[in-house]
Structure 1
């Protein structure tokens, strides 16, 4: 296959940057903090110059639409599928597996020298962005964009993926042409950033975004899309709230027992210690607020909850962690006593 010409590269760039902006605007419009049902962006919903553009192939993990010379997106199936996509422990870089053929008689993928992997290598050398669709559940994906390919490891048969710049950066940059970093995999050469240190790579990890998106989906599912305090059942008005702060133990931090589904009003009230939740799931409103006269929203939305029991998940393993609630409630009581 011949190398693309300048006009073809320019078209790829325009389609790519337009697609990234379009998918991010879609994430802003839809509830779910970036988790999208595939029907919202598949079936050629995005258009470039009146032409439909395929953003995610229904069967393939790497997608290259006909308007582009290189892949526009990568995707991981819900549950991981046949590929070992994972994060590295040392810096949180996401390792995306080569696309190839899985042979039961071989411990490694075969037929990996293909247009999909070579296209990702070209994106790595050009420092061009793309979209990552992370499978959450059947038909639902967390859209992470823009991301960048920063290294290629033939030993593990994976590419390193980190968060890229904001779309405005790429749009302001304009078409960069065939700008190629002289050393593939050099983190210090990503899109002209002079010194992308290892801690900067860690900051650009997509891990936290994936964890938070997954956390929200799991929490809203456990609470049946309802606020645990008010029973409000409008997902755009609900947050997935951590009981204990996110810690180094990420598995525990992002587990369902460490979360509550709260309306945005009650999330703010919980964070400000206007109300607390006891280890036996009772709501307590701060004593000085019980007699406050701040109108019907405060009366019915906050004061009337005092001594009520929160809505609980139906599955026992999803119940709020009592120890985490106790620690959080102690902080609430300390705040009350300090008044």
Structure 2
């Protein structure tokens, strides 16, 4: 049996292990792998099959939390969200403030301990986000406020923030939490292949927003995403390449007329008029026609 003094070394070891296994936080991991972590010769699963808040028996504070995966269009049993202060909200377990799992998160808050957040991106697959911290509790709403590392300590939950600080909190939260989850969700939906050319090297793929996250419709949803290789992502963002609502690739006219060697010819010009080569399996995850229409109208504007 490990001693309670092992708390800090265990957390550090778990996060180091996750850094290596998840390609520095870029890739999701399957449940069975997250259950295989060992510390000082003992197996210490980082995730719990029955509980959203994981507290190993040897610890007094929570080690990790889970947001379960739900397919596009369905709801989660606990709906986590973002507050007006830019911090993430994580719901209590049930309605009892003294539930063991809620107490475990409260201890982590009081001791300012780092946590691991596992966000479901497919059945049995989780994107690790770490470290996150419990920045405060809102008992009247049955929830905790969470902050990512860079903004922990900068903001008290639901305090008035100057616009510049709020934008900073939101930007860091998107970079540290939403973007890795968005990338994992989109790349898994497209089976790790570029939608335009079917390139299958994950390191050369991006999750491209159809409409940018700065847009009022720019949610971090698989229906607002396309898996694209670096070339086609850049071409899409820079309006060299557009995709119609019927999923047809178009190349800008001046690019079609340009002569600049085999990369331009095979990478872009010969893609003109083809349908997307790769799409998600479920039609519910297909790119939104409405969002494609917004971006395609922008593509048609004069360069």
What is the SS of the residue equivalent to 2:120? strand
What is the aligned residue count?
290
Q: Which moved more, 1:71-80 or 1:148-157?
A: 71-80
> What secondary structure is seen at the aligned counterpart in 1 of 2:228?
strand
User: What is the Cα-based RMSD across aligned positions, in Å?
Assistant: 3.7
Kindly provide the CA deviation profile for residues 173-222 of structure 1, in whole angstroms up to 9, marking residues without a partner as x: xxxxxxxx9xxx9839xxxxxxxx96278437746655444544554455
Q: Relative to 1, partners in 2 of residues 1:186 and 1:199: Cα closer, same or farther, differing over 3 Å?
A: closer
In the other structure, the counterpart of 1:237 is 204
Is residue 35 of structure 1 aligned with residue 35 of structure 2? no
Gaps of 5+ in 2: 158-163
C-alpha distance 204-60 of structure 1, shift in aligned 2 (>3 A): farther
Task: Decide whether aligned partners of structure 1 residues 218 and 88 sit closer, same or farther in structure 2, where only a CA change above 3 A counts.
Answer: closer
Structure 1 unpaired stretches of 5+: 1-6, 101-108, 170-180, 189-196
- TM-score, length of structure 2 as denominator length: 0.76
Aligned residue for 2:277, secondary structure, equals coil
Please report how far the alpha carbon of residue 236 of structure 1 lies from its aligned counterpart in structure 2 after TM superposition: 4.3
Query: Max radius of gyration: which structure?
Result: 1
2-structure distance, mates of 1:258, 1:81: 20
Output one character per residue of 1:84-132: Cα deviation in whole Å (capped at 9) or x when no partner.
34224412432223335xxxxxxxx24x425433332222122121101
Length-normalised TM-score, structure 1: 0.69
Structure 1 CA distance, aligned partners of 2:178 and 2:58? 32
Following superposition, the deviation at residue 148 of structure 1 comes to: 0.4
2:38 matches 1:53:
no
| CA displacement at 1:234 relative to structure 2 | 4.1
Stretches (4+) displaced over 6 A:
none
Aligned to 2:272: 306
Q: Which whole-Å deviations, capped at 9, do the CAs of 1:267-319 have from their partners, x for residues lacking one?
A: 12222333333455232255346543434x44322232133232364666555
Determine helix, strand or coil for the equivalent of 1:20: helix
25 and 293 in structure 1: CA distance in 2 versus 1, 3 angstrom threshold: same
**Structure 2 CA distance, aligned partners of 1:288 and 1:201?**
37
Q: Is the counterpart of residue 246 in structure 1 residue 207 in structure 2?
A: no
- 1:141 deviates by 1.5
